[in-house]
């Protein structure tokens, strides 16, 4: 039987790490010395300088066969900053696949989350079914709108837009400070970690349109121009990479500033995690002209990125104890199934005085007023606020023994703001 260990990687492990990394993520990479040096130096910097980036590897009989980076995130959890952990760059050696290495690495990642004080494990899935079976629930959808630029909000009085200007590259610190303030206002958002900050500073393709109030940057739109014609350089679209704003008025001014570029870009791609974003637009009909029976015009494409797993429900409720609820007194029992082992975990959640509290064990479950049966993945989505209880029951994703409590639980577990982050990790 093979001897396996997982341990933190050190600079001496980088040559073996690079062999796995370049083969696990081949897109945009080759085996040239130039490419190798580029990614070697970037990973060396991350490993030796960046405090929030942690390299781990699995060794089998002394050989490195799997690697990953664990990111210590500062995350907005229902209005207060908490620690969470992200899984990044999970890779398995090309000749050591289908040996359970990836699953064992994910298990280690989850243990790391709990032991390091993280409230939630987060990842961007390469295979959604694989991670859902491991207990990860889907987060909030990202909606991407590709519309005519003229459909963005317009502000005719140019005096109202006097605070708009293009940011200089040496104003990166102001933009990062603005982004951090944005995170503190939005549930599920995470602060940029060191690798993101490095790329943010080095990016010389992205333009940033900023809004200033009394000399302070309170919002920005990061975008690029992309040519849409093989023969006409004047036909372009704007691709908005980030839309950061401290309030609705700032958002409207940023969108109006982008609309002013309609002479340069006939269309614009805008992404948002706000489900109601389409109401901001004069028309949300996208450039495809798509039509779905009967009478539905295509507006956008949607995608799921971040998935969440609550690895330890007791600890999650400790760090999320500040979440506010309607003042309804109710104790609900949850019978949670692990898709991998088939084992169940029973506990109760007491709602009282506008707060919630975790009650461990089968006895607490048995004495609850209503009982819910579900999978860990779906309950993670529900407790994070990216799913609605009533909808999950209507669809049969969750079952409840007393239907008369569905409306009350739907009211209690509704999140005022769905969790969303467009962080690249």
Q: For residues 233 and 237, what is the distance between their CA atoms, to the nearest angstrom?
A: 11
Q: What is the pLDDT of residues 135-191, one digit of tens each?
A: 999 999 999 999 999 999 999 998 999 999 999 999 999 999 999 999 999 999 999
Can you tell me the mean pLDDT for 232-254?
97
Q: Is the backbone peptide bond immediately before 325 cis, with ω within 30 degrees of 0?
A: no
**What is the widest separation between alpha-carbon atoms in the chain?**
74
**pLDDT at position 233, please?**
95
Whether domain 308-413 has CATH 3.30.1050.10: the reply is yes
For the ranges 100-109, 128-137, 337-346, 385-394, the lowest mean pLDDT is seen at: 337-346
> Which residues share a beta bridge with 266?
none
Pairing state of beta strands 307-309 and 137-138? antiparallel
Read off φ and ψ for residue 418, nearest 5 degrees.
Answer: -70, 145
Q: What is the pLDDT of residues 9-21, one digit of tens each?
A: 999 999 999 999 9
pLDDT-derived band at 1, boundaries 50, 70, 90: low
**pLDDT at position 31, please?**
86
* pTM (2 d.p.): 0.95
Q: For residues 153 and 263, what is the distance between their CA atoms, to the nearest angstrom?
A: 15
Whether 259 has a pLDDT exceeding 70, the answer reads yes
- Determine the topology of domain 4-123 in CATH: Aminopeptidase (3.40.630)
- Would you kindly state where each structural domain of the chain is located, as residue ranges? 4-123, 142-304, 308-413
- Give every CB contact of residue 162 below 8 A, 6+ residues apart in sequence: none
Q: Name residue, tokens 């990953």.
A: 68
CATH homologous superfamily of domain 142-304? Gcn5-related N-acetyltransferase (GNAT) (3.40.630.30)
Q: For residues 251 and 274, what is the distance between their CA atoms, to the nearest angstrom?
A: 12
Torsion of CA 164, 165, 170, 173, to 10 degrees: 10
Q: Residue 405, Cα to own-chain centre: how many angstroms?
A: 31
Whether 385 has a pLDDT exceeding 80, the answer reads yes
Q: 221: closest CA among 158, 279, 153?
A: 153
Q: Note whether 4-123 and 142-304 share their fold.
A: yes
Q: What is the pLDDT of residues 94-138, one digit of tens each?
A: 999 999 999 999 999 999 999 999 999 999 998 999 999 999 999
**pLDDT at position 340, please?**
83
Q: Three-class SS of residue 212?
A: strand
Mean pLDDT of the chain: 96
């Amino acid at each position: 039987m093979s001897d396996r260990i997982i341990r933190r990687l050190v600079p001496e492990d980088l040559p073996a790490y690079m062999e796995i990394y370049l083969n696990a993520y081949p897109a945009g990479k080759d085996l040239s010395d130039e490419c190798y040096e580029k990614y070697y130096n970037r990973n060396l910097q991350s490993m030796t300088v960046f405090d929030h980036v942690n390299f781990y590897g699995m060794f089998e009989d002394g050989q490195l066969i799997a690697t990953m980076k664990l990111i210590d995130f500062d995350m907005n959890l229902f209005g207060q900053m908490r620690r969470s952990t992200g899984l990044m760059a999970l890779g398995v050696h090309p000749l050591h696949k289908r040996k359970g290495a990836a699953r064992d690495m994910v298990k280690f990642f989850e243990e790391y989350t709990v032991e390091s004080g993280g409230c939630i494990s987060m990842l961007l899935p390469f295979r959604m079914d694989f991670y859902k079976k491991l207990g990860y629930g889907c987060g909030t959808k990202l909606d991407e709108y590709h519309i005519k630029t003229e459909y963005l909000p317009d502000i005719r009085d140019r005096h109202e837009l006097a605070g708009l200007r293009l940011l200089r590259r040496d104003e990166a610190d102001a933009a990062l400070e603005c982004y951090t303030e944005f995170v503190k206002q939005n549930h599920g958002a995470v602060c940029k970690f060191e690798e993101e900050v490095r790329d943010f500073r080095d990016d010389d393709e992205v333009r940033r349109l900023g809004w200033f109030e009394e000399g302070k940057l309170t919002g920005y739109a990061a975008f690029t121009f992309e040519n849409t014609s093989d023969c006409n350089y004047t036909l372009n679209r704007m691709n908005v990479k980030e839309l950061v704003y401290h309030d609705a008025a700032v958002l409207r001014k940023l969108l109006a500033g982008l609309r002013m570029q309609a002479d340069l870009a006939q269309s614009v791609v805008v992404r948002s995690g706000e489900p109601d974003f389409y109401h901001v637009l004069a028309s949300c009909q996208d450039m495809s002209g798509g039509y779905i029976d009967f009478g539905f015009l295509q507006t956008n494409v949607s995608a799921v990125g971040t998935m969440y797993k609550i690895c330890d429900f007791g600890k999650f409720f400790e760090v999320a104890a500040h979440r506010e609820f309607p003042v309804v007194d109710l104790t609900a029992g949850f019978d949670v199934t692990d898709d991998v082992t088939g084992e169940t975990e029973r506990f109760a959640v007491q709602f009282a005085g506008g707060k919630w509290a975790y009650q461990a064990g089968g006895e607490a479950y048995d004495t609850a007023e209503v009982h819910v049966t579900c999978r860990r993945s779906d309950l993670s989505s529900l407790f994070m606020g990216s799913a609605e209880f009533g909808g999950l029951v209507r669809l049969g994703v969750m079952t409840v023994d007393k239907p008369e409590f569905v409306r009350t639980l739907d009211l209690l577990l509704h999140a005022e703001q769905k969790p969303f982050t467009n962080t690249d990790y």
